[in-house]
Chains A and B, each alone.
Chain A
């Protein structure tokens, strides 16, 4: 797991946590390409493993 840390600013906020955690943007949601690539907790530690869209 990536250690919690400040990851810079987004708008008025000081950002905490992993910068590449799974999220949905627009009508697209990045998903891992292969089941099991994510860690035990599902955290996506490597953005290069993410691809595609879903919703």
Chain B
């Protein structure tokens, strides 16, 4: 069951050992990070980088570095067990950030990788992304990576009558 609070949690079982899962997750991030505007700001050539150290940056480089968009800093670099970084959508104020923690737990068939994305309650209440908006449009406004998905998000929300 989902923990209470403002943390989104997702897990996947990967059939590789933790050290390899950690290395692929970080070193090869651009190779698996999905393409498209739901996931990246850049429409054309875009590369996702994760600098491999605490204090390193997670950023997207567009058009061979013509534009660099920093998502946040690495706050924990503990291979092969744990990685944490800040997550700022492009429309957040400089002081606003959420937190992503990635856990790599050994399992008999490989590694259980868990992403915990929390800290949404710290985004100020009068942020344009939050102000007076209901859930689906608020999400659509969170970052440009969601911008083109407004319609499908609304359809998705409408299709899920959450009791």
A in complex with B: no
